[in-house]
Amino acid sequence: GVGASDASPDEGVVEDLPLIDEKAVEQLTEGLISHYLPDLQRSKSALQELTQNQVVLLDTLEQEISKFKECNSILDIDALFSEAKHYHNKLVNIRNEMMMLHEKTSKLKVSGMNI
């Protein structure tokens, strides 16, 4: 006959495996999930909030950048108007000088004719 020492040590375990697989794995899985899930959900909501804050921050930065661009445009326009005013004044001065020269030459012509 077969003695107790001839039996394989794994023989009884193999028959019990389906029960261990179904019950133990299910319970271990539930335990693992219930242990880590709250932390993971908190991390997920924290990351979502962080992402939303980053989007808001990016929008705000874009608005500020466009304000600076507008300011630069306004400064450029101011410089352009100042330059235009400067050249306008030069033109007015040139016109006045030309009118004075015209008057002088007209007077010289008249006095030359009288000689």
Q: What is the pLDDT of residue 10?
A: 57
Give yes or no for residue 114 having a pLDDT over 90.
Answer: no
Q: pTM value?
A: 0.43
Condensed to tens digits (0 to 9), the pLDDT of residues 34-92 reads 999 999 999 999 999 999 999 999 999 999 999 888 888 888 888 899 999 999 999 99
pLDDT over 60 at 13, yes or no: no
Residue 108 clears pLDDT 70, i.e. is over it: yes
* Per-residue model confidence (pLDDT) at position 78: 86
Tell me how far apart the alpha carbons of residues 81 and 13 are, in angstroms, rounded to a whole number: 95
Percentage helix, strand, coil, to 5, in the chain?
95, 0, 5
What is the CA 34 to chain-centroid distance, rounded?
Answer: 39
What is the rounded CA–CA span in Å between residue 30 and residue 19?
16
Judge residue 53's burial from the number of C-beta atoms within 10 Å of its C-beta, 0-12 exposed, 13-18 middle, 19 or more buried.
Answer: exposed
